Amino acid sequence: MSYFWPYFKFSSLSVDFVFKDVFSDAATKRTILSLPIRCSSVGCVWTGELRNSENHQSNCDFYIVSCTNKNCDVTLQRRRLQDHVTNMCQWRIINCSYCGEPYPHCQMEYHVPQCNKCPVTCTKCDSSIPKEMVSTHIKEECPLTEIPCPYKHLGCEIMIERRRVDSHLQSDVKAHLHLACAKLDETESRWNDTQRDLVATKLNLTETTYKLQEATDLLQRKVYPWKIGGFRKKLRRAKTGKRDVVESDPFYTKAETESYGYQVKVCIHPNGISSGKNTHLSVSLMLLKGEYDAILPWPMNKKVKFILIDQQKHPDERVNVFEELLTNRCTEFARPETGEGSGFDTFISHRDLLNSKRFIVNDTLFLQVEINSP
């Protein structure tokens, strides 16, 4: 934008010629700044002194300026700038009427189709809903969406439009009632089965508890079972005098509540000894030297129970043979010095042992020994 001299017209050459040898002169400067000029902007009629030209130019309504909106390259007269920036510029910022987010005016047509808040038409019922709500609308609200009958859990397999559910419920009351009755019968049957299972479980738990208690009692009573196989051969050898005694492995009598125990072993004489010789099976308990003898109380004070197990298949039919011995009444248990034992010479007769088929099964008998405090 340029200003010109309305009353003095000269070329750049004449200006060079005139001012070639000019030097600073305050009076001349004032004279020059006082020269009259006219605004060169098209349509502006302002005239004034040269010294006021810059001030006028910064406020001239007809001066050509650039649009202040980002990315806009339009130039126009200052008097039209505000309307352009606010109303006409394609790069002016406006808010989306659906989501409220700011976008340039020229990009709004691309944003709207992608805006999640932009309303779209339901493909089923023609309702206008925000794009982001389409799936929820179809699943939970659309009257034309097919949904299962509310009595599906009872067995009704009908799929029906949401708007027709009420009429379906009214028209199919009888069918739904039949389904409800059938479901009730099924539930009652399952309940009865569950009760039976609970009773059975309770019985199993009771039996398991009993067995555990029995096992605990056995541990507390300190039970020593002894399996003796090949008994008939052992009896024949005893009758010929080749070997008249069968001995168990040594063991300690320590119970769960005791810190130490006595070392003992169980002996049987298949052909008997003393008063049971040739007629009975004799049993005895022999006291052995043990590693805790120095700190154990003497005489040994225990109640020993010898039990010959009846091997009948049915537990209710079993009749065990047993005898009890109090060790503190036997001199053999005063100290483990003699290497002798004490027991029962006539524990069971050969007749009862061999003919009853109760105590010897598969040529094996079981002798159980319980050792407890008296």
User: pLDDT, tens digit, for every residue of 61-110?
Assistant: 999 999 999 999 999 999 999 999 999 999 999 999 999 999 999 999 99
Instruction: Quote the strand ranges of the chain, DSSP E.
Output: 36-38, 47-49, 64-66, 75-77, 93-95, 102-104, 119-121, 128-130, 146-148, 159-161, 223-229, 246-247, 251-252, 263-269, 280-288, 303-308, 321-326, 341-349, 364-372
The predicted pLDDT at position 17 comes to 45
Cβ pair 333, 360 in contact under 8 A: no
- Stretches where the chain sits below pLDDT 50 are 1-19
Cβ pair 342, 334 in contact under 8 A: no
User: CA-CA distance, 167 to 190, in Å (whole number)?
Assistant: 33
Element (H or E) spanning 298, and its range?
none
The predicted pLDDT at position 201 comes to 83
* Token pair for 243: 């070997």
Q: Which residue has 């010898």 as its token pair?
A: 306
Cβ pair 168, 152 in contact under 8 A: no
The predicted pLDDT at position 213 comes to 63
Cβ pair 74, 84 in contact under 8 A: yes
Based on C-alpha coordinates, what's the Rg of the chain? 60
Roughly how many angstroms between the first and final C-alpha of the chain, as a whole number?
A: 131
- C-alpha separations of 53 from 40, 56, 61, 124, 326 in Å: 10, 5, 14, 71, 139
Residue 248, Cα to own-chain centre: how many angstroms? 54
Cβ pair 234, 246 in contact under 8 A: yes
CB-based burial label for 66 (10 Å; 0-12, 13-18, 19+): exposed
Q: Mapping DSSP to helix (H, G, I), strand (E, B) and coil, where does residue 192 land?
A: helix
Peptide bond into 225 cis (omega under 30): no
The predicted pLDDT at position 255 comes to 65
Backbone torsions φ then ψ of 72, nearest 5 degrees: -90, 130
* Token pair for 20: 């070639």
Cβ pair 246, 271 in contact under 8 A: no
The predicted pLDDT at position 8 comes to 37
The predicted pLDDT at position 297 comes to 92
Element (H or E) spanning 17, and its range?
helix 12-19
The predicted pLDDT at position 256 comes to 59
* Pick from 330, 329, 337: nearest CA to 289: 337
Cβ pair 368, 232 in contact under 8 A: no
Q: Which residues pair with 160 in a beta bridge?
A: 147
* Token pair for 94: 């406006």
Number of H helices, E strands in the chain: 10, 19
pLDDT tens per residue across span 163-195:
999 999 999 999 999 988 988 888 889 999 999
Q: Which residues pair with 23 in a beta bridge?
A: none
